[in-house]
Amino acid sequence: MSRDTTSRYDMGRKLVLFGFWLLGYALGFFAWLVRAPVIAWITSLGFSEEVAGALITGFAGSLMMLVGVILWSYLSSSS
pLDDT on residue 4: 56
pLDDT of the residue at 44: 95
* Domain parsing of the chain, residue ranges: 3-75
Enter the DSSP assignment of 45.
T
Give the residue from 37, 19, 21, 31 showing the smallest Cα distance to 58. 31
Supply the pLDDT for residue 51. Answer: 92
Residue pLDDT, tens place only, 7-53: 666 667 788 788 888 888 888 888 888 888 988 999 999 999 999 98
pLDDT at position 12: 76
Which helix H or strand E contains 15, and what residues bound it? helix 3-44
